[in-house]
Chain A
């Protein structure tokens, strides 16, 4: 791989996003307007909390922990993960209390606590993987009411919920195209996870990427391109791969990347860039921004180590990078940082 440096690589002046409690920060997710950052804090013991910070420029306010309704501020055993943002500044996420079912909840910063998004009367069982289209008119999620994970879609205006894709194998990771006309998703069958695309209009599915082992966590980029993580090359290593469209030839953008705990490839909101980090310790103090067609790469150096979990957001048209890292080698927990990307992409 080659790097084309856009200007001098410089040490990023990252701002830490502080939060209460202890654990590893992971899966930062920008709101569509770039003013809020939701992220998980996993103590790798009994809970994973969701925190939301309000961001002005690269200055992040101390994050506020989100609690499930009825759990109280010290609710133990909570797992709140996978935030997705609606354009109205509302985040939808999966939540579970102490080993209970996973349900979808919503939270709006500054408007009180979290509340249930979909009732058990509407959809029983576990519901996970919330995903919204650009204008928020549609929300996809995975429900196991038929016994396997199926792709469901909820119309935000009518609240009508429809099963869009079901099969005997579990479907996962739904992701809308910006206009909501298509959904990417994966299906695990025969111990292999493959990527598919579903037409909302016809209900027809098209294979996008497959092969040995797993192709997972697909996301749309500009021009209809699809990016995903792929371990077909070496089962113990993950690569960042792309196809120009369903059925197109797969291209490896980056090898042996650091697989995020839960996130998809960190594609920028305009679909032109993807942020990634590497497993290689010699490269782990930087975050790399790559054009989604692989034509360009920018290195963002940081003052920290073991960088991971990158996410790119836009605030008033200006790009910002969120990422996690160990403040120093040997630190107990990964922290979350925000840095300004102006002039770099």
Chain B
């Protein structure tokens, strides 16, 4: 092949791949086709809730949607009483392919319905009322849908048949044809609809939106670097990480002026030579526990309480966690209490933690015998086993995604991180967990 055709072929291939890459990101056409078929099949069975779900999915494909699909979705909205959604989908169909029937249907909606935005409080949900329901079944369904939304969320934004309505302490009249939404702002709902002049009572909704267990298991990594500088034991009662029968006084020293003739190992005999620089005893500290060298298993149990109703729903969470580090025989037990927020299917937590690390390992901090004369250095520095504990407070947080529904619970994948500090060193780690959390009760529109 000559150079020119090769170049041209290469250019074509690059262009094609670039186009495909761009298209793949912009529109999942295969998925769109599949969903279109499903929508048509569901519509033939009058399975309108199914049509709604698939229509929501097809919108996510970011593909241009055929007029026929928009019209089916408009029929679905009609059958479910979602009048504003019906108007929107007719408009979308009209934008693709303008027909007199679609224009007539839109005009019919504009002639009989008005746009309303009832702004309420999700915690105080007053019923939407109308004295007499319309004769036309589609108008009736429209009102019933709005009533369902208000009951589930406290608010409604959509279209209602013309007429007079009441919600909480507000009476309003819907008129046809306005392009803007009429806003109806309502205050706290009184439980006694006749007590128009009484102070409204606190909330129609309970204080607790939801409450449920949190249970997770996972794996992660744990690390704790040894303190960078020697920690001098200044008094006999100084805390030492290492305790127990094998711990006899200070195990190491640090000597500011290295003078082999004057260094002493406090484990042996302190020099009494006048002027000799005394070495200072250090407390025992384990060496660094490498983060990625120390995998751990993580078990968390607890519960969460949802306290708010407005999105994103929030509340508090409290858990007890246990981590077992491999490589070392370290265990960490923590208690966590913090704030939790649940936007959509996501779950975020953040808050203080308090814990204890207990167990043992091998090797002390490098500075344990720093400055020691070689003949005095404790040969156990790198090989000595230690046993002990540390405790302190810190911070922990997580980000999770609830993927599966199990009735009142959801299965979640959770990425978490934690940090705590005792008097001398930090303990930190992160990991991935799978577990269950309560499902947030939400009204699905």
Residues of A within 8 A of B (CB): 69, 72-73, 86, 88, 90, 106, 108, 110-113, 115-117, 136, 156-157, 159
Contacts and interface: CB of A to CB of B under 8 A. Distances in A.
A111 B109 CA distance: 6
Contact of B138 (A72, A115, A136, A159): A115
Nearest to A113: B105
B443 interface: no
Nearest to A115: B138
Nearest to A88: B135
Contacts of A69: 75
A111 B108 contact: yes
Given A108-B112, A111-B112, A156 B105 contact: no
Given A112-B105, A112-B107, A115-B78, A157 B138 contact: no
A33 to B, nearest CB: 14
Residue picked from A86, A110, A159, most chain B C-beta under 10 Å = A110
Nearest to B113: A111
Instruction: For the complex of A and B, list the 10 residue pairs with the smallest distance between their C-beta atoms, beginning with the closest.
Output: A112-B108, A111-B108, A112-B105, A111-B112, A86-B135, A156-B135, A88-B135, A110-B111, A111-B111, A136-B135
A115 B112 CA distance: 15
A106 B136 contact: yes
B73 to A, nearest CB: 14
B107 A110 contact: yes
A157 B132 CA distance: 7
Contacts of A136: 135
Residue picked from A106, A112, A117, A156, most chain B C-beta under 10 Å = A112
Nearest to B112: A111
Contact of B137 (A88, A111, A112, A117): A117
A116 B212 CA distance: 45
Contact of A88 (B75, B104, B107, B136): B136
A99 to B, nearest CB: 19
A77 to B, nearest CB: 19
Interface in B105-151: 105, 107-109, 111-112, 132-138, 140
Contacts of A88: 134-136
Contacts of B199: none
A113 B135 contact: no
6 contacts: A90-B135, A111-B112, A115-B137, A116-B137, A156-B135, A157-B132
Given A108-B136, A112-B107, A116-B137, 8 more contacts: A86-B135, A88-B134, A88-B135, A90-B136, A112-B108, A113-B101, A156-B135, A157-B132
A107 B107 CA distance: 14
A181 to B, nearest CB: 20
Residue picked from A86, A90, A111, most chain B C-beta under 10 Å = A111
Nearest to A136: B135
A157 B133 contact: yes
Contacts of B137: 106, 115-117, 159
Nearest to B78: A115
A254 to B, nearest CB: 35
A73 B135 CA distance: 26
Contacts of A86: 135
B163 to A, nearest CB: 11
Contacts of B104: 112-113
A117 B141 CA distance: 12
A90 B136 CA distance: 7
Contacts of A156: 133, 135
Contacts of A73: 100-101
A86 B134 CA distance: 11
Contacts of B112: 108, 111
B69 to A, nearest CB: 15
A73 B101 CA distance: 8
A69 to B, nearest CB: 8
Contacts of B136: 88, 90, 106, 108
B296 to A, nearest CB: 57
Contacts of A90: 135-136
Nearest to A132: B135
B164 to A, nearest CB: 15
Given A108-B108, A111-B108, A159 B135 contact: no
Contacts of A106: 135-137
Contacts of A115: 78, 137-138
A105 B133 CA distance: 18
Contacts of B138: 115
Contacts of B107: 110, 112
Contacts of A111: 108-109, 111-112
B378 to A, nearest CB: 86
Contacts of B109: 111-112
Interface string B404-415: 000000000000
Contacts of A117: 137
A157 B134 CA distance: 8
B55 to A, nearest CB: 18
A112 B104 CA distance: 5
Nearest to A108: B136
Nearest to A64: B104
Given A110-B111, A112-B109, A159 B101 contact: no
A115 B133 CA distance: 18
Interface in B383-439: none
A108 B109 CA distance: 11
Contacts of B108: 108, 110-113
B128 to A, nearest CB: 17
Nearest to A158: B133
A187 to B, nearest CB: 28
A72 to B, nearest CB: 8
Nearest to A121: B46
Residue picked from B105, B111, B135, B140, most chain A C-beta under 10 Å = B135
Interface in B68-123: 75, 78, 100-101, 104-105, 107-109, 111-112
Contacts of B78: 115
A133 B80 CA distance: 28
Contacts of B75: 69
A108 B111 CA distance: 11
B67 to A, nearest CB: 14
Nearest to B99: A73
